[in-house]
Amino acid sequence: MHNFEHIIAERKGAVALITFNRPKVLNALCNAMIAELETVLALIEADPSLSVVVVTGNGKAFAAGADIKEMADKRFTEVFSTDIGGSRWQRLGSFRKPSIAAVAGYALGGGCELALMCDIILAADNAKFGQPEITIGTIPGWGGTQRLTRAIGKYKAMDLILTGRHLDAEEAERSGMVSRIVPLADLVPEALKLAEKIASLSSPIAMLAREAVDSAFETTLSEGLKAERRLFHASFATQDQKEGMVAFLEKRPPVFKNQ
């Protein structure tokens, strides 16, 4: 794939692997890295041969937060007019294909928020999650107060956001934030294995499924049920639905063509 300064983007069959690559600063999220992430996500989204993205970090951290050097002296008018935390920073959250965060080490502040933008979070046994913004005089600004609360509930989220304390991998899994915990050495291979499984199925159906699940976070139950039903109906417009059901009746593996 393309060459970047702050991230590594690799093609693994139908899976794209994105690695944050600023290990000397624990992969702190600078403006240039966010711009590169936005660019590569657009390329992946436009490429029909890529079905799933895995996001991870290089070194001792997934991402230990935003690069504070870039924002420490900014005033309200600057952060407001440039919309820090806005659409560019939320690009992973609006990505239409399935996404997996493979988290080792620290996922703090903006790093935790990026992980929460993904559809699935796999955690290494050394993972640490947190929203410590209050300890530096601010609050989460990339969705932490919203996605974290939806993921683990109001009271656990308040505990983290108002104290800045960290969750280890086991507490994160108990809280429902993490899909599963794997040994550190197995993290990326397991994430790629999971991504390959998803990629082996129908890409348009996977996109419909994740849109339906997302609606559970964003609407009432009655509206979510309507959205689910419409998306279920829409699946019958695909060739993959026909192939999947015929293959089931014929007792053979389906051959999906992402159509």
CB-based contact 206:256 (threshold 8 Å): no
According to DSSP, the residues that pair with 15 across neighbouring strands are: 12, 52
Catalytic residue among 61, 63, 66, 102: 66
Identify the residue whose tokens are 């999906």.
256
Residue 66 falls in the annotated catalytic set: yes
Cα separation, 209 vs 231, whole angstroms: 8
CB atoms within 10 A of CB 82: 12
The helix (run of H) or strand (run of E) holding residue 160 is helix 154-163
Residue 110 falls in the annotated catalytic set: yes
Catalytic residue among 57, 105, 109, 110: 110
Residue 196 falls in the annotated catalytic set: no
Catalytic residue among 63, 104, 127, 133: 133
CB atoms within 10 A of CB 145: 17
Residue 57 falls in the annotated catalytic set: no
Among residues 92, 56, 89, which one has the least CA distance to residue 70? 89
Say whether 163 sits in a helix, a strand or coil.
Answer: helix
Report angle CA 46, 56, 39 to the nearest 5 degrees.
30
Cα separation, 254 vs 200, whole angstroms: 10
Catalytic residue among 104, 113, 130, 209: 113
Among residues 223, 191, 41, 198, which one has the least CA distance to residue 117? 41
Task: Please identify every residue annotated as catalytic.
Answer: 66, 110, 113, 133
